[in-house]
Structure 1
């Protein structure tokens, strides 16, 4: 309440330059010599309580706590994650519908397979394996094209694609595709072979 959040550029400078700008007004340094706003400590044996007790008016916090404490960061992150969630839902629906139509177009062939003795489990494995291979090739192609596109971007354009997140999302999309094929396979195996063979395409 009563606060605003803006996107501002960041400038990396040495301490002397920052102090000359931050405390340019007379008396803004409160009489302190070389004042600083924050000190970052790295290590495994840092005792934050001891540091707070040793100095007055000092607050210690972790890097994640500092980031989460920025006004608007948590809300903006929530918006981005909500967009990602909706993108996954939309992708799941599109993929499921695509493979459903793709599999239904082969109903006649599956009917012939059932008529000559192919079991429902064999047909299901066939459908799932085909969808798995198609999805895997498509996802790999998408990842490759994404990284190739990054090479076209100007050098000054900020672009950072975490490879771990790419692999995670690729696995999720692959699982969604396979689950969609399972639903379609169940529908195909329920069709009577005679009905499937006599179906007009």
Structure 2
């Protein structure tokens, strides 16, 4: 460690460039991870706010919630201590003057305690709605009226909910009756899914299909593709960063062959020199990733409200450990080069 630090401090410019490279790559990886997690969360935040562990759709809907049409008869086919009805439908919301239009998802629900258990918002009635804070960012206030495209129904905002999104669009929570009036033009009990808190018991012969909440996310259009795409990008970036760092350290090691030869001639053991090379690699990687993480945190502060940016300490920790592991493995090539150095040949005696 002492030798590693002394060399880094002695060759500040050379090692600063290497650390700068690690900073850029680690910052890119952390930032992409935050974007990927934020984007994935914006697909699922709305459902994660429920107490639902299981979701039931019409088996003929082919995993498409919009094609799942359920009635009160379907609801009675399910036995559960805690169950609720949910209707989902896309729409365009605007103020009464038709300004500030937003693409939204309408969640028609019959049990607000089930869907917003942590928000401590009073149950709404009639045309009152609870909306995502995206509306607040657009200048909406409690008491403002919202107009839905293709309808004369006017909705009154009663409260705001943070991070209430579905497939990246903000959610409007409204009563199931009002939802039916908007979608079908009549007051009848039709909805898309049944959400269950405990393990459901379904009557034999029922045409309902059961999903775990986490399994349901995989059916959302684009969700699996975007998660896989970002995951592959992050993995390859880590591999490339580790390879580049390993090449830099290996080149530096080869350039110091004569120095290591003199050290060996003086009786310094291979193990000591090898530990120094490994320590040097880890110091560079740790410094680079820490600075990269700080830059990511700063970016999140300034860009968090403008892009789907979300922090996940677990992901950061795993990525950092993978960085260090691959950097350690790459340093072993340099260690192998150190072990093979012949002291006499290195100092030019033979």
TM-score, normalised relative to structure 2: 0.47
Instruction: Choose 167-176 or 79-88, whichever is displaced more.
Output: 79-88
1:47 matched to 2:199? The reply is yes
Match of 1:133 in 2: 283
State the superposition RMSD in angstroms: 2.7
* Cα distance, 1:118 vs structure 2: 1.0
Q: How does 1:45-194 map to 2 (within 5 A)?
A: 46-48=198-200, 50=201, 52-53=202-203, 56-153=206-303, 155-194=305-344
- Residue correspondences, number: 183
* Cα distance, 1:147 vs structure 2: 0.7
* Cα distance, 1:166 vs structure 2: 0.8
Instruction: Choose 76-85 or 182-191, whichever is displaced more.
Output: 76-85
Change (3 A) 1:107 1:67: same
- Is this contact kept in 1: 2:285–2:327, CA < 8 A? yes
Match of 1:22 in 2: 183
Change (3 A) 1:154 1:125: closer
Change (3 A) 1:13 1:71: closer
Rounded to whole Å, the distance in 2 between the matches of 1:183 and 1:92 is 12
Rounded to whole Å, the distance in 2 between the matches of 1:36 and 1:179 is 55
Rounded to whole Å, the distance in 2 between the matches of 1:9 and 1:186 is 50
Instruction: Choose 70-79 or 90-99, whichever is displaced more.
Output: 70-79
Match of 1:38 in 2: 193
* Cα distance, 1:115 vs structure 2: 0.7
* Cα distance, 1:155 vs structure 2: 2.3
Rounded to whole Å, the distance in 2 between the matches of 1:19 and 1:198 is 89
User: What are the Cα deviations for residues 131-187 of structure 1, in whole angstroms up to 9, with x where unaligned?
Assistant: 112211211111111111222226232211311111101110111111111111111
* Cα distance, 1:128 vs structure 2: 0.9
* Cα distance, 1:22 vs structure 2: 2.7
Rounded to whole Å, the distance in 1 between the matches of 2:342 and 2:250 is 18
Rounded to whole Å, the distance in 2 between the matches of 1:129 and 1:9 is 44
**Structure 2 unaligned blocks of 5 or more:** 1-165
TM-score, normalised relative to structure 1: 0.78
- Is this contact kept in 1: 2:281–2:328, CA < 8 A? yes
Change (3 A) 1:76 1:151: closer
* Cα distance, 1:124 vs structure 2: 0.9
Q: Is the partner of 1:158 in helix, strand or coil?
A: coil
* Cα distance, 1:90 vs structure 2: 1.5
**Structure 1 unaligned blocks of 5 or more:** 1-6
Structure 1 residue aligned with 2:345, among 189, 195, 201?
Answer: 195
